[in-house]
Amino acid sequence: MDKKFLDKEQPLRILIFSASLRIGSLNTQLAKLAAMVIEKNGGKADLASMKEFDCPSFNQDLEPDGTHPPGTEEFNKRLLANDAFMIVSPEYNGCMPGYLKNSIDWVSRFRPQPFNERHALIMSASPSMAGGNRGLWSLRIPLEHLGTRVFPNMFSLASAHQAFTPEGTISNATLAKRFEDNIIAFMSLAEAAKNYPCIKKAWVEFLGEKPDPVTERAE
């Protein structure tokens, strides 16, 4: 399967970041591993840090002149520069981190709205037995609301504090394969969406949807 997506002209570009701000983060470790899997399979990983996208609390009073905090500008720019994105997020109290939702809210104010129609894979890591999976369900809500095509299969690394080898790979062979297979499946879909946009157009026509600025969900 190696190099499956290698297109020297236009490799699939994927923004990937861990939504943890912590040094020594388990989610950052998993994000780095995912970036290696992307590159191994011929994609181009744009590995970012949550610190680059962090923003002050959202306040509509701060945006009357159209200026955005630097973290928002950077997040928007990196989404637009890539074909798809991956978020590897901690779970705090059964939910995504508040600062991640805050950054998503800020970026949702750009037009065109950059989450719309982008493909995303979401993953998590936690010392708990559920691997932070509940947080991913909460992350789905704003992303799907904004029109992101969130990949159905998520990946949550349970007991993450014990799950890595000293080299940073996943020590359990079955889990390591599932992790890689899921990323490859996501890349296949994102690649198809990038190169065959006619499929998406046909789907919209079939539903008979007509763009309407008043009711358009994401725009």
Ligand X SMILES: Cc1cc2nc3c(=O)[nH]c(=O)nc-3n(C[C@H](O)[C@H](O)[C@H](O)COP(=O)(O)O)c2cc1C
Residue 164 binds to ligand X (criterion: CB under 6 A): no
CA 156 and chain centroid, separation: 14
Q: Which is nearer to ligand X, 5 or 155 (CB)?
A: 155
Can you tell me whether residue 84 is helix, strand or coil? strand
Residue 156 binds to ligand X (criterion: CB under 6 A): no
Written as six digits, the tokens of 123 are 């993953």
Using CB under 6 A, pick the residue from 54, 74, 83, 91 that binds ligand X: 91
User: In whole angstroms, how close is the CB of 94 to ligand X at the nearest point?
Assistant: 5
Cβ contacts of residue 69 below 8 Å, gap of 6+? Answer: 55, 56, 62, 106
User: Which of the ranges 69-77, 100-108, 120-128, 171-179 carries the binding residues for ligand X, by CB under 6 A?
Assistant: 120-128
Q: Which is nearer to ligand X, 5 or 99 (CB)?
A: 99
Phi/psi at 209 (5° precision): -75, 140
The residue behind tokens 């990196």 is 78
Q: Which is nearer to ligand X, 27 or 76 (CB)?
A: 27
- What is the β-pairing status of strands 13-18 and 84-88? parallel
- Residues in a beta bridge with 95: 92
Q: Which is nearer to ligand X, 28 or 113 (CB)?
A: 28
User: Which of the ranges 76-84, 87-95, 105-113, 173-181 carries the binding residues for ligand X, by CB under 6 A?
Assistant: 87-95
Using CB under 6 A, pick the residue from 8, 60, 64, 93 that binds ligand X: 93
Residues near ligand X (CB under 6 A), total:
15
CA 218 and chain centroid, separation: 17
CB atoms within 10 A of CB 105: 15
Give the interface with ligand X as residue ranges (CB under 6 A). 20, 22, 25-27, 90-94, 126-128, 130, 132
